[in-house]
Amino acid sequence: MIGPVRIARINAYAFRSPIAKPIITSFGTMLDRPAVFVRVEDTDGAFGWGEIFANWPAAAAEHRVNLLARDIGPLVFDCPLSHPTDLFHALTKRTHIVALQSGEWGPFRQVIAGLDIAVWDMFARRSGKTLRRFVNAKAADHVPAYASGIHIKDADALIADAREIGFKNFKVKVGFKTEDDLNRIHRLFDNKSKDETIAADANQAWDVDEALKFMVQTTTLPLAWLEEPIPADSPTLDWKKLNDARPYPLAGGENIIGFKEFEKTAETAQLQVLQPDIIKWGGLTGCLAVGEQARSQGLLYCPHFLGGGIGLQASANLLAAVGGEGLLEVDVNPNPHRDAFGLVSSRVSEQGWACNAEPGLGIISLPDALKKFETNTVEIY
């Protein structure tokens, strides 16, 4: 590549598809499945795809497209790129004041993350390499994976279905009625196979006392980890109380934002499993750095993800590039914005999750099946 790359065109698409059964968490309910995909193209016609977080709040998808169109997209054209990381750092700096002024830190970070993924995809595609091999020539073609998005009340059926697909690792959502959660999770361990693992995710549902109660009553269970038992921004002292009592690893990261915050988390040893989300903050640039830091400090790196097919493939390539023993999070609830790029069952085998073989993320265009779900689209040039 000669000289810096310049972006000439950006396309963004919001989608919203109905679902038969809502996705219920301890903090809220998803009544449909949203997604935002973004495409960047340089002056030579090379292109790349990314995804922008849009699960929360309910109106997020269309808002993110408008934010990209009116506030962030025009800045991209002024950023010559000699390396894929350049755009992330330039946009983070240039949008700092307006994000501060508006108080919309999350939306700005999410749009920047999606653009960052797209730029990495474009650079990798131009090199003729898959994204993971562009980052790390020794990256594996398969990564370990676990079935996620499993409500504790539906766990028996959903785990059985995921097991049939080929999963051996599962994560259930708790944080509802504690006694009911405890009864159900104990039964899950009574029925699991020896080679299977089960983790639990409270989605920030509890205070310290409630979290300690759950931990005390699951001390005998070999949980792979307990994820976000208390709010991510809880004081370090609260996390220390949990760590002093923990019978298994504590996990989190999807709601930790920024290099300094991840460094602080690692330094205070409040988490043993780090889970940044590639489409919520950082894109490849941020989450790759966090992954490398996590591995250097002996932490398990399991990127968080609960979105569409582009972000999932990017998360898989990220994990493969970082390496280690971490697992890829794969939501097993119905999601047309994921399944249109390939069914989960077609990617999972005894070897793990199969990453793409084609350059970049392996995505040329959006599947036609998504068109009927489109709610907003923009082209910027």
DSSP states of 132-178: HHHH-TT--SEE-EEEEEEEGGGHHHHHHHHHHHT--EEEEE--S-H
pLDDT at residue 266, rounded to an integer: 85
Tokens linked to 227: 């994820």
pLDDT band, very low/low/confident/very high, at 373 (cuts 50, 70, 90): very high
Mean pLDDT score, 43-60: 97
Q: Per DSSP, what are the bridge partners of residue 252? A: 274
pLDDT band, very low/low/confident/very high, at 303 (cuts 50, 70, 90): very high
Percent of the chain with pLDDT over 70: 99
pLDDT at residue 3, rounded to an integer: 75
Mean pLDDT score, 115-131: 98
Mean pLDDT score, 289-296: 96
C-alpha 119/C-alpha 132 separation (Å) is: 14
Structure confidence by residue, pLDDT tens digits, 235-272:
999 999 999 999 999 999 999 999 999 999 988 889 99
pLDDT band, very low/low/confident/very high, at 43 (cuts 50, 70, 90): very high
Query: Beta-carbon neighbour count of residue 33 at 10 Å?
Result: 25
pLDDT band, very low/low/confident/very high, at 123 (cuts 50, 70, 90): very high
* CA 83 to chain CA centroid, nearest Å: 23
pLDDT at residue 2, rounded to an integer: 58
pLDDT at 132 over 60: yes
pLDDT at residue 269, rounded to an integer: 84
Average pLDDT, the chain: 96
For helices 60-67 and 105-127, angle between their N-to-C axes, nearest 10 degrees: 70
Q: Where are the alpha helices (DSSP H) in the chain?
A: 60-67, 73-76, 85-94, 96-102, 105-127, 131-135, 155-165, 178-191, 208-216, 236-245, 259-268, 283-296, 309-322, 336-339
> Residues near 356 by Cβ (< 8 Å), separated by ≥ 6?
130, 313, 317, 362, 363
Length of the chain: 381
Evaluate whether 314 touches 278 at the Cβ level (below 8 Å): yes
Structure confidence by residue, pLDDT tens digits, 178-222:
999 999 999 999 999 999 999 999 999 999 999 999 999 999 999
Tell me if residue 34 falls in helix, strand or coil: strand
C-alpha 175/C-alpha 152 separation (Å) is: 9
What is the β-pairing status of strands 197-201 and 226-227? parallel
pLDDT at 344 over 90: yes
